[in-house]
Amino acid sequence: MSKDTDRRAFLKGSVLLPALGAAACSPPATHQDDLAASAPAAATPAAADYKPAFFTPAEWAFVQAACARLIPNDANGPGALELGVPQFIDRQMGTPYGAAAAWYMQGPFFEGKPEFGYQSQLTPKQQYRLGIRAIDAWCAKTHGKVLADLDAKTQDDVLKQVEAGKVKSDDLPLDVFFTAFLLKNVMEGYFGDPMYGGNRDMAAWKMIGHPGARADFLEWVDKPAAYPYGPVDLHGRQA
Amino acid sequence: MAIRNKPVDVVIVGLGWTGAILAIELAKAGLEVLALERGEDQDTVPDWAYPKVVDEIAQSARNGLLQNLSKTTVTLRHDQADRALPYRQIGSFKPGTGVGGAGIHWSGVHSRVMPEELRLKSHVTERYGRKFIPEGMQLQDWGITYDELEPHFDRFEYVCGTSGKAGNIGGVKSPGGNPFEAARSREFPLPPLKDPPTSVLFAKATRELGYNPYSLPAANASQPYRNPYGCDIGPCNFCGFCSDYGCINYSKASPQTTILPALRQMKNFSYKTNAHVVRVNTASDGKTATGVTYIDGQGREVEQPAGMVVLAAFHLHNVRLMLSSKIGKPYDPKTGEGVIGRNFCYQVLNSINTFFDKSTYINPFMGSGGVGQAIDDFNADNFDHGPHGFIGGGVIWGRQTGAGPVRGIPLPKGAPKWGSSWKQAVKDNYLHTGRIEAQMSNMAYRGAFLDLDPTYRDAYGEPLLRMTLDWQDNDLRMSEFFGDKLNAIAKAMGATSASGRIIKRGDHWDTRAYQSTHINGGTSMGADPKTSAVNKYLQSWDVPNLFVLGANVFTHGICYNPTGLVGALAYWAAANIRDTYLKSPGPMVRT
Ligand SMILES: Cc1cc2nc3c(=O)[nH]c(=O)nc-3n(C[C@H](O)[C@H](O)[C@H](O)COP(=O)(O)OP(=O)(O)OC[C@H]3O[C@@H](n4cnc5c(N)ncnc54)[C@H](O)[C@@H]3O)c2cc1C
Ligand code: SF4
């Protein structure tokens, strides 16, 4: 199959759907409404003039600086900042995730053995608010400047210390903020579909050789060779 | 005053795998069947249509299909002396919600059970002697035999359109299949799926090591198929969005692909969604179920009278409903008496990532939930346990289930977690990383059990189910044995290195990282009402018009994945309800 026919068949779903015969219980004919409901969410890829909805200007500077260090722009490809990851995180704060809507958040809250996971009453939004404030305060005390104003080497050093639990705050455990929120969300934004605001032009997928939403490998799965096609995103764009 | 609905013959709590099976089989027997499902209605189109569903952020990172823990969850602790803490975020297990249940986002590995596991206590005693069973281990026979279940394993495989190759048909070894397999009555409905790179390397390596690799049975169809209910299933295209996802292709067996299209056409079947059942109601004699009470989508309490109640709400919820409805004697770990909550187990899983050089393409983004090559050389009692001194076994496999970068890119030991060298490492490794695993049994122990939490409540005001569980020495030594096997196989596969999780002595049950949703026990089946909650027909000993399905009826955590056995037990229970119970309702086993 040429790349083009492969693609066309792929989008039409003709290689995906089984023949719907006249069997007593074939899946029902698809209605227009159902088709509309099966479309992915609206695509709003990273915008150059994005204004954060959740983060304050100081927080926004922190998030941008952290993104630039956690996944830097280098010879292997663009970094988290270039791919719009700060926008991804800001937008996630406005989703049910930002408010921990699907987590059990009833008290009482106790610290426990690490094996029992997250036991804090802080939502992701609160984690960012308190976490950034505490790290910036520590930077100001230790280095005389907030994280965003430090040089790259010092920023790396601060982030490593936060990760290792060496930077303390009364408000929250900063190593948890770093690993379970900041770094986790940076990775999600970098590698998630561009419609969420990160991974601009699927550059992160191209870098590692991930074909994105292609989701059809019947003819390739038994071939241990380089997969020849570039990625597609949830809105059918190719890169 | 609660709203009171019109009575029905049967009310089924939960419309996932077991609920759908009981619903169709009992509706076919002519009963008026109503299923109550707490979640939303959902179907292949529109919910899992391409491209919407192949979204790692929505499905994997934000758990799109999973139980909303803000509504209800469980609490966890290692030991009776500890304070239990809530399972606040999804971690080591992933209960489903909505029509289809976990039957939507499961993977599809479709095994049976090794016959000796159903009579584990007798088998271990006969082969190794009573002293081989360590103090505190609560082994039990299940009160049922493999031969009784065989037609029902077969039935469920033919409903699912399972892909595989028989190793033993009617006691005659069948070349190309699993030589350790228990006898099956006929070939699988579909031939095995194509092998992805991880499985090819795994099969070659294990063969060289003298083991017997076979194609893991998969409820992911290798060819177009029409099942006995007339439902059409399409071939799996290895889309790589399988476990955590609904299938875009009508290929992964689920209630939606294999049962509901036929069930929905039956006039004596109906179902309600957003109906969260909080209690099984009993008559004043305590011996008859009169129906259930649920909270509807508007928050109203509704009573649903029924002549028969079936619990099909998944392990956790089946056990909790028994406890909160005060049916059966709650288990007391101090005395070892009581049955509800007894024998809580959780399958042990070791998982390692195998890294290859750049000439070896694994392409982990391709794959299917159930596809893989496996060995049973160390499964159940297929090897002599005498020299090793532990009870239990496991299946070792090289599966390729589909992996995307949001789900995490594994890296060799010592690799940084961020920065330029992390970026270099993900670029170098992503396409060249496979995964092999050992999935093992978990024995029942006196101190591992389920009860109601004294502190935490759910959004409906009901106490949460409390889990008390930790790894015991027997299981940890077994896990170390399997860890060694995994590392030797990784080496034989030509991996340049391996990293991952092997549970060792000193480790404790960790509820943060995904392990599996194979939690078992709590309402064990058996022949003795003192040690089991239900009889061999999954009928409550205390309330004979109540049937309890699910992996909660296991008396220990078996080696294989649970759903083949859970489904077979559901068909077995349905057949016996139809052929025996309905003719003369009442206890089917007299004690
Ligand atoms: C990620 C994942 C991968 C898996 N992979 C495999 C595999 O490869 N092989 C295998 O054998 N097994 C696998 N499993 C396990 C398999 O999904 C389960 O064994 C199977 O779905 C159990 O069937 P069930 O009917 O007991 O529960 P479910 O299918 O989960 O159905 C239970 C239903 O009951 C509903 N319910 C719960 N409480 C209530 C209530 N109070 N009132 C009303 N409704 C309620 C739920 O919403 C749900 O719809 C996997 C599970 C997961 C999560
Ligand atoms: S891998 Fe196959 S069975 Fe699984 S979701 Fe994709 S098409 Fe369906």
The pLDDT tens digits of the residues spanning B524-569 come to 999 999 999 999 999 999 999 999 999 999 999 999 999 999 999 9
Using a pLDDT cut of 90, give the percent of chain B over it: 99
Domain assignment of residue A23, yes or no: no
Domain assignment of residue B28, yes or no: yes
Rounded to the nearest integer, the mean pLDDT of chain B is 97
- Mean pLDDT check: name the lowest of A38-42, B391-395, B497-501, B520-524: A38-42
The DSSP output letter for A124 is H
Segment B146-163 shows an average pLDDT of 98
Measure A49 CA to nearest chain B CA, in Å: 24
The DSSP output letter for B197 is H
- Across the interface, whether the CB atoms of A25 and B261 are under 8 A apart is answered yes
- DSSP H helices, B433-577, are 473-492, 563-576
Determine the Cα–Cα distance for residues B297 and B300; give it in Å rounded to an integer.
Answer: 7
Determine the Cα–Cα distance for residues A58 and A36; give it in Å rounded to an integer.
Answer: 40
Using a pLDDT cut of 70, give the percent of chain A over it: 85
Task: Give the nearest partner residue to B45 out of A30, A192, A205, using CB atoms.
Answer: A30
- Across the interface, whether the CB atoms of A115 and B510 are under 8 A apart is answered yes
CA–centroid distance, A28 to ligand 2, in Å, is 20
Please say if the pLDDT value at position B426 is more than 60: yes
- DSSP H helices, chain A, are 3-12, 32-37, 57-70, 85-93, 124-143, 152-163, 174-176, 184-191, 203-208
Q: With a CB-CB cutoff of 8 Å, which residues 245-274 of chain B face chain A?
A: 248-251, 261-262, 264-265
Element (DSSP H or E) covering residue B318: helix B315-324
Task: Give me the domain span that covers residue A137.
Answer: 41-210
- How many contacts does A have with B, using Cβ atoms within 8 A? 246
Predicted local distance difference test score (pLDDT) of residue A8: 36
Contact residues, chain A, for B42 at CB < 8 Å: none
Please say if the pLDDT value at position B443 is more than 50: yes
Q: How many domains does chain B have?
A: 1
Predicted local distance difference test score (pLDDT) of residue A25: 53
B17 lines ligand 1 (CB under 6 A): yes
Using 50, 70 and 90 to split pLDDT, how confident is the model at A38?
confident
Please say if the pLDDT value at position B500 is more than 80: yes
* DSSP result, B374-391: EE-TTSTTSS--TTTT--
Query: Alpha-carbon dihedral of residues B290, B296, B301, B307, nearest 10 degrees?
Result: -10
Q: What is the pLDDT of residues B330-387, one digit of tens each?
A: 999 999 999 999 999 999 999 999 999 999 999 999 999 999 999 999 999 999 999 9
Contacts of A75 (CB under 8 A, 6+ apart): none
Query: Alpha-carbon dihedral of residues A122, A125, A130, A136, nearest 10 degrees?
Result: 150
What's the token pair of residue A155? 């920023």
Predicted local distance difference test score (pLDDT) of residue B554: 98
B250 close to B257: Cβ distance less than 8 angstroms: yes
Active site residues of B: 518
Contact residues, chain B, for A196 at CB < 8 Å: 57
Report yes or no: B229 at the A interface, CB cutoff 8 Å. yes
Segment B565-582 shows an average pLDDT of 98
The CA-based angle B492-B493-B498, given to 5 degrees, is: 95
Report yes or no: B360 at the A interface, CB cutoff 8 Å. yes
What's the token pair of residue B143? 């009160």
B532 close to B562: Cβ distance less than 8 angstroms: no
Predicted local distance difference test score (pLDDT) of residue A43: 86
Q: How many residues does chain A have?
A: 239
Determine the Cα–Cα distance for residues B581 and B545; give it in Å rounded to an integer.
Answer: 9
Question: Locate tokens 């050089």: which residue?
Answer: B357
The DSSP output letter for B353 is E
Amino acid identity of residue B551, one-letter, is A
Task: Give the nearest partner residue to B366 out of A156, A192, A220, using CB atoms.
Answer: A220
> Would you tell me how many other CB atoms lie within 10 Å of the CB of residue B183?
16
Measure A98 CA to nearest chain B CA, in Å: 11
Predicted local distance difference test score (pLDDT) of residue A30: 56
Predicted local distance difference test score (pLDDT) of residue B558: 97
Determine the Cα–Cα distance for residues B365 and A23; give it in Å rounded to an integer.
Answer: 33
Using 50, 70 and 90 to split pLDDT, how confident is the model at B503?
very high
Task: Give the nearest partner residue to B56 out of A19, A192, A208, using CB atoms.
Answer: A192
Please say if the pLDDT value at position A95 is more than 50: yes
Q: What is the pLDDT of residues A128-167, one digit of tens each?
A: 999 999 999 999 999 999 999 999 999 999 999 999 999 9
Q: Which ligand is nearest to the CA of B316?
A: 1
Please say if the pLDDT value at position A175 is more than 90: yes
What's the token pair of residue A194? 């561009």
Answer left, alpha or beta for residue B108, where phi above 0 means left and psi between -120 and 50 means alpha: left
Backbone angles phi, psi at B171, to 5 degrees: 90, -5
Measure B455 CA to nearest chain A CA, in Å: 8
Answer left, alpha or beta for residue B226, where phi above 0 means left and psi between -120 and 50 means alpha: beta
Q: Which residue of A has its CA nearest to B242?
A: A215
Contacts of A6 (CB under 8 A, 6+ apart): A229
> Would you tell me how many other CB atoms lie within 10 Å of the CB of residue B225?
23
B44 lines ligand 2 (CB under 6 A): no
- Across the interface, whether the CB atoms of A208 and B405 are under 8 A apart is answered yes
Amino acid identity of residue B161, one-letter, is G
Determine the Cα–Cα distance for residues B461 and B295; give it in Å rounded to an integer.
Answer: 11
Domain assignment of residue A20, yes or no: no
CA–centroid distance, A16 to ligand 1, in Å, is 26
Q: Distance of alpha carbon B330 from its chain centroid, rounded?
A: 23
Task: Tell which of B366, B507, B508 to mutate to test the A interface (max A CBs under 10 Å).
Answer: B366
> Which atom number of ligand 1 is nearest to the Cα of residue B321?
41
> Would you tell me how many other CB atoms lie within 10 Å of the CB of residue B152?
21
Task: Give the nearest partner residue to B427 out of A37, A76, A193, using CB atoms.
Answer: A76
Q: What separation, in Å, do the N-terminal and C-terminal C-alpha atoms of chain A show?
A: 19
Using 50, 70 and 90 to split pLDDT, how confident is the model at A36?
confident
Determine the Cα–Cα distance for residues B401 and B245; give it in Å rounded to an integer.
Answer: 12
B162 lines ligand 2 (CB under 6 A): no
Identify the CA nearest to B142 among candidates B542, B471, B444: B444
B252 lines ligand 2 (CB under 6 A): yes
SS3 A102: coil
Predicted local distance difference test score (pLDDT) of residue A5: 39
Contacts of B521 (CB under 8 A, 6+ apart): B342, B343, B344, B345, B444, B551, B552, B554, B555, B556, B557
Q: Whose CA is nearest to atom 4 of ligand 2?
A: B242
B582 close to B546: Cβ distance less than 8 angstroms: no
Predicted local distance difference test score (pLDDT) of residue A39: 80
How many H-runs (helices) and E-runs (strands) does chain A carry? 9, 0
Question: Locate tokens 């003819």: which residue?
Answer: A219
Q: Could you tell me the CA-to-CA distances from B272 to A167, B34, B78 in Å, in that order? A: 52, 8, 37
Rounded to the nearest integer, the mean pLDDT of chain A is 89
B371 close to B399: Cβ distance less than 8 angstroms: yes
Radius of gyration of chain A (CA): 22
Please say if the pLDDT value at position B175 is more than 50: yes
Segment B52-72 shows an average pLDDT of 96
How many alpha carbons fall within 13 Å on the CB side of residue B62? Answer: 22
Please say if the pLDDT value at position A24 is more than 70: no
Q: How many domains does chain A have?
A: 1
Q: Which residue of A has its CA nearest to B82?
A: A112
B532 close to B561: Cβ distance less than 8 angstroms: no
Q: What is the pLDDT of residues B110-145, one digit of tens each?
A: 999 999 999 999 999 999 999 999 999 999 999 999
A76 close to B424: Cβ distance less than 8 angstroms: yes
Measure A42 CA to nearest chain B CA, in Å: 11
- Across the interface, whether the CB atoms of B73 and A104 are under 8 A apart is answered yes
Determine the residue of B317, B439, B458, B464 to mutate for testing ligand 1's pocket, defined as the one with the most ligand atoms within 8 A of the Cβ atom: B317
Determine the Cα–Cα distance for residues A184 and A174; give it in Å rounded to an integer.
Answer: 14
Could you give the ipTM of this predicted complex? 0.96
> Would you tell me how many other CB atoms lie within 10 Å of the CB of residue B358?
10
Q: Whose CA is nearest to atom 50 of ligand 1?
A: B106
Segment B434-461 shows an average pLDDT of 98
Domain assignment of residue A8, yes or no: no
Q: Whose CA is nearest to atom 13 of ligand 1?
A: B106
Domain assignment of residue B588, yes or no: no
Segment B484-506 shows an average pLDDT of 97
Determine the Cα–Cα distance for residues B262 and B266; give it in Å rounded to an integer.
Answer: 7
SS3 B122: helix
Q: How many residues does chain B have?
A: 591
Segment B39-55 shows an average pLDDT of 95
- Across the interface, whether the CB atoms of A188 and B45 are under 8 A apart is answered no
Domain assignment of residue A193, yes or no: yes
Q: What separation, in Å, do the N-terminal and C-terminal C-alpha atoms of chain B show?
A: 40
Predicted local distance difference test score (pLDDT) of residue A17: 39
What's the token pair of residue B495? 């991996």
Question: Locate tokens 């039957």: which residue?
Answer: B103
> Would you tell me how many other CB atoms lie within 10 Å of the CB of residue A161?
17
Q: What is the CATH number of the domain that holds B486?
A: 3.50.50.60
B494 close to B201: Cβ distance less than 8 angstroms: yes
Task: Give the nearest partner residue to B194 out of A114, A115, A222, using CB atoms.
Answer: A222
Domain assignment of residue A205, yes or no: yes
Contact residues, chain B, for A163 at CB < 8 Å: 417
Task: Give me the domain span that covers residue B475.
Answer: 3-581
Identify the CA nearest to B44 among candidates B226, B251, B313, B227: B251
B50 lines ligand 2 (CB under 6 A): no
Please say if the pLDDT value at position A15 is more than 50: no
Contact residues, chain A, for B405 at CB < 8 Å: 187, 191, 204-205, 208, 210
Instruction: State yes or no: cis peptide before B544, omega within 30 of 0.
Output: no
Question: Locate tokens 């009860």: which residue?
Answer: B451
SS3 B521: strand
Q: Which residue of B has its CA nearest to A208?
A: B427
- Across the interface, whether the CB atoms of B50 and A16 are under 8 A apart is answered yes
Contacts of B366 (CB under 8 A, 6+ apart): A217, A220, A221, A227, B196, B238, B240, B400, B402
Measure B131 CA to nearest chain A CA, in Å: 33
Contact residues, chain A, for B367 at CB < 8 Å: 221
B319 lines ligand 2 (CB under 6 A): no
